[in-house]
Amino acid sequence: MSDCNCEVAENKPAEVKLVPRERAGIINPMYDCQPAGAQYAGIGVKDCIPLVHGGQGCTMFVRLLFAQHFKENFDVASTSLHEDSAVFGGVKRVEQGVMVLAQRYPNLRVIPIITTCSTEIIGDDIEGTIRLCQRALAEAFPGRTIHLAPVHTPSFKGSHVSGYAECMKSMVKTIAKKGEPTGKLNVFPGWVNPGDVMLLKEYLSKMEVDATVFMDTEDFDSPMLPGKTIETHGRTTVEDIEDSANAIGSLSLARYESGSTTKLLADQFSVPDYPVDTPYGIANTDAMLRKISEITGKPIPESLVRERGIALDALADLAHMFFANKKVAIFGHPDLVFGLAKFCMEVELEPVLLLIGDDQGNKYKKDPRIAELKAAADFDIEIVHNADLWELETRIKKGLKLDLIMGHSKGRYVAIDANIPMVRVGFPTFDRAGLYRKPTMGYKGAMELAETIANTIFAHMEYTRNKEWILNTW
Amino acid sequence: MPMVLLKCDSDIPERQKHIYLKGPNEDSTEFLPVANAPTIPGTLSERGCAFCGAKLVIGGVLKDTIQMIHGPLGCAYDTWHTKRYPTDNGHFNMKYVWSTDMKESHVVFGGEKRLEQSMHEAFDEMPEIKRMIVYTTCPTALIGDDVKAVARKVMKDRPDVDVFTVECPGFAGVSQSKGHHVLNIGWINEKVATLEPEITSEYTMNFIGDFNIQGDTQLLQTYWDRLGIQVIAHFTGNGTYDALRGMHRAQLNVVNCARSSGYIANELKKQYGIPRLDIDSWGFNYMAEGIRKICAFFGIEEKGEALIADEYTKWKPKLDWYKERLQGKKMAIWTGGPRLWHWTKSVEDDLGIQVVAMSSKFGHEEDFEKVIARGQEGTYYIDDGNELEFFEILDLVKPDVVFTGPRVGELIKKLHIPYVNGHGYHNGPYMGFEGFVNLARDTYNAVYNPLRHLAGVDIRDANPVALPVKIREAA
List, for residues A351-402, the tens digit of each pLDDT value.
999 999 987 667 898 999 999 999 999 999 999 999 999 999 999 999 999 9
A265-269 contacts, C-beta under 8 A, 24 or more apart: A265/A172, A265/A176, A265/A186, A268/A173, A268/A176, A269/A176, A269/A178, A269/A245
pLDDT value for B27 = 80
Whether pLDDT at B475 is above 70: no
Q: Is the Cβ of B117 closer than 8 Å to some Cβ of chain A? A: yes
Residues contacting residue B260 through CB under 8 Å, at least 6 positions apart: B53, B57, B58, B177, B180, B184, B209, B338
Residues contacting residue B198 through CB under 8 Å, at least 6 positions apart: none
pLDDT value for A87 = 83
ipTM over 0.95: yes
- What's the gap in Å between the CA of A15 and the closest CA on chain B? 27
Sheet harboring A422-424: ordered strands across?
Answer: A16-20, A381-385, A350-356, A327-332, A404-407, A422-424
Give A90's DSSP letter: S
Q: Is the Cβ of B172 closer than 8 Å to some Cβ of chain A? A: yes
Q: Pick the residue with more confidence: A362 or A219?
A: A219
Q: Where are the alpha helices (DSSP H) in B212-361?
A: 216-227, 241-245, 258-272, 284-298, 301-326, 338-351
Could you tell me the pLDDT band of residue A1, with boundaries at 50, 70 and 90? very low
pLDDT value for A363 = 85
- What's the gap in Å between the CA of B331 and the closest CA on chain A? 19
Q: A5-47, pLDDT tens digit by residue?
A: 555 555 677 899 999 999 999 999 999 999 999 999 999 999 9
Could you tell me the pLDDT band of residue A2, with boundaries at 50, 70 and 90? very low
Do B41 and A78 lie within an 8 Å CB cutoff? yes
Question: Could you give the CA distance from residue B210 to residue B207 in angstroms, rounded to a whole number?
Answer: 7
On chain A, the residues whose CB falls within 8 A of the CB of B74 are 32-36, 58, 155, 160
DSSP-derived 3-state class of residue A352: strand
On chain B, the residues whose CB falls within 8 A of the CB of A389 are none
Do A25 and B11 lie within an 8 Å CB cutoff? no
Q: B373-399, pLDDT tens digit by residue?
A: 999 999 999 999 999 999 999 999 999
Residues contacting residue A68 through CB under 8 Å, at least 6 positions apart: A428, A430, B81, B82, B406
- Nearest one of A369, A411, A435 to A31, comparing CA atoms: A411
pLDDT value for B174 = 96
Whether pLDDT at B366 is above 50: yes
On chain B, the residues whose CB falls within 8 A of the CB of A80 are 38-41, 45, 47, 174
Question: Could you give the CA distance from residue B150 to residue B356 in angstroms, rounded to a whole number?
Answer: 50
Q: Is the Cβ of B84 closer than 8 Å to some Cβ of chain A? A: no
pTM above 0.95, yes or no: yes
On chain A, the residues whose CB falls within 8 A of the CB of B456 are 226
Mean pLDDT of B280-295: 98
Of A77, A82, A417, which has the smallest distance from its Cβ to B174's Cβ? A82
Do B170 and A57 lie within an 8 Å CB cutoff? yes
On chain B, the residues whose CB falls within 8 A of the CB of A222 are 414
Q: Where are the alpha helices (DSSP H) in A71-125?
A: 83-88, 91-104, 117-122
Question: Could you give the CA distance from residue A92 to residue B370 in angstroms, rounded to a whole number?
Answer: 35
On chain A, the residues whose CB falls within 8 A of the CB of B102 are 117, 156
pLDDT value for A233 = 96
Mean pLDDT of B124-129: 98
Whether pLDDT at A155 is above 80: yes
Q: How many CB pairs under 8 A join A and B?
A: 247
Question: Could you give the CA distance from residue B475 to residue B461 in angstroms, rounded to a whole number?
Answer: 36
Could you tell me the pLDDT band of residue A210, with boundaries at 50, 70 and 90? very high
Mean pLDDT over the full length of chain A? 96
Q: B228-270, pLDDT tens digit by residue?
A: 999 999 999 999 999 999 999 999 999 999 999 999 999 999 9
Interface residue of A114, A224, A360 to substitute, partner B, most B CBs within 10 Å? A224
Do B414 and A226 lie within an 8 Å CB cutoff? no
Residues B337/B367, Cβ–Cβ less than 8 Å: yes
Mean pLDDT of B95-118: 97
Q: Is the Cβ of B8 closer than 8 Å to some Cβ of chain A? A: yes
Per mean pLDDT, which range of A174-178, A270-274, A455-459, B27-31 is the poorest? Answer: B27-31
